[in-house]
Structure 1
Amino acid sequence: MNLSTFPDISIVPILAQHAEALAELVGNNLEHLQPFLPAVVQLACVDDARAYLCAAAARAASGDILEWHIFSGTALCGSIRLKEIDTADHKASIGYYVGRQFQGRGIASAAVGAVLAHAFGALHLHRIELQCAAGNYASMALAGRLGFAHEGVLRQAEWLNGVFVDLHVYGLLQPDFVPDAAALSVA
């Protein structure tokens, strides 16, 4: 996937060859990622990043997840994933992150929008769910910008950094999605 409104941004399927770049991105963003994505922090080691990428590629081959890396030029700046893909009910969940140094430039919104267009188009999904922990205001704002409806709060639904936290649940239906036609081209 390419984002033509961001000519230096691309979304590519994850590859084991991205392990060093992934470990570097995570290592440079430990404090940024730890509050909401402590599992991602474990990928700061190249060997752990490579093992994760190989396992995720195998899960992608089985259709369990689809995961991409977001690049700005040659720099890895984040990751985005469709998970819990349910083809019978035409739904999935989405998750993502970008490094602190790449925030505030619209990259996450553009990348999530591109994957949504792919999910609702080529994958024929009808519903995408986004969950984020209470206090993750950046993800809450992104959900609002992209047209997700706030559907509720799952009380103490996630064990995060040693405490239970509430999860905000957002949903987006295919008929409610307004794609940016200029932002995505699928190869």
Structure 2
Amino acid sequence: MNFDNYSLRLLKASDLDDFFHLMKNNQSRLENFFAGIVAKTQTIDATKNFLDDVEQKIENKAYFPYIIIDVNSGTIAGFIDLKNIDWNIPKTEMGLFIDVQHEGKGIAAKAFYLVCQHCFEKHGFHKLFLRTHPTNTSAIGIAEKTGFKKEGLLRDDYRTTSGDLVDLLYYGLLQADFI
């Protein structure tokens, strides 16, 4: 998938160095809400193990992590993952972050839209959903721009890395409602 000067593709083991650096460069702002990935990418060896595990999960259709690549520099500009997949519905939760150096350029919204389209057309999902903190206005804006509807507030639904329980907004998008 391509747009502007960016491409989207699945994360793979050969992305080890670039992915490790992406996570290190963004760790402080990701550690509360991408706690699992941050914890699994603390060292280069841990990141290698994470990527090996990712390849198996992709093969098993249990997890799909996409990276956004700046084609001019070859660097990873962002990350969108499909997690908590339930093939009985079928539905998946989406997560997204953009590298701090690529924020504010509209990359996230375009990439997110393309991955949603890919989810419905290639994977055959019936529903996409995301959970985000009520103060994450960027994620809320991208979700709403893509057609997601706020379905509710989940109280004390997530424990941050610091141990706090926080509320999360739940947004959903049905295939039939995708623009």
When normalised by structure 1's length, the TM-score is 0.87
- What per-residue deviation string (whole Å, max 9, x for no partner) do you get for residues 8-67 of structure 1? 201111111111111111211222223422333332422122111111111111111111
Deviation per CA, 1:154-186, whole angstroms, max 9, x where unpaired? 1001001210000110000112111xxxxxxxx
Q: CA deviation at 1:134?
A: 3.0
Task: Give the SS at the match of 1:121.
Answer: helix
Report matched runs for 1:36-185 at 5 Å. 36-42=33-39, 43-73=41-71, 74-160=74-160, 161-178=162-179
CA contact (8 A) 1:24 1:44 kept: no
Q: Partner of 1:135: helix, strand, or coil?
A: coil
Q: Which amino acid aligns with 2:175?
A: Q
Superposition RMSD in Å:
1.4
Q: Stretches of 4+ moved more than 4 A in 1?
A: none
Structure 1 residue matching 2:147: 3-state secondary structure: coil
1:158 aligned counterpart, secondary structure:
strand
Contact 1:36-1:136 at 8 Å conserved across structures: no
TM-superposed deviation, 1:86: 2.4
Q: Larger RCO: Structure 1 or Structure 2 (Cα < 8 Å, ≥ 6 residues apart)?
A: 1
Q: Where in structure 1 are there 5+ consecutive unaligned residues?
A: 179-187
> Contact 1:134/1:165 (CA < 8 Å) preserved in 2?
no
Paired AA for residue 17 in structure 1: S
Matched residue SS, 1:53: helix
C-alpha distance in 2 between matches for 1:172 and 1:148? 5
Contact residue 11 and residue 111 of structure 1 kept, 8 A: yes
Instruction: Classify the secondary structure of the residue corresponding to 1:32.
Output: helix
Identity across matched positions, percent? 29
TM-score normalised to the size of structure 2?
0.91
CA distance in 1, matches of 2:96, 2:81: 6
Q: Is the 8 A contact 1:127 1:174 kept in 2?
A: yes
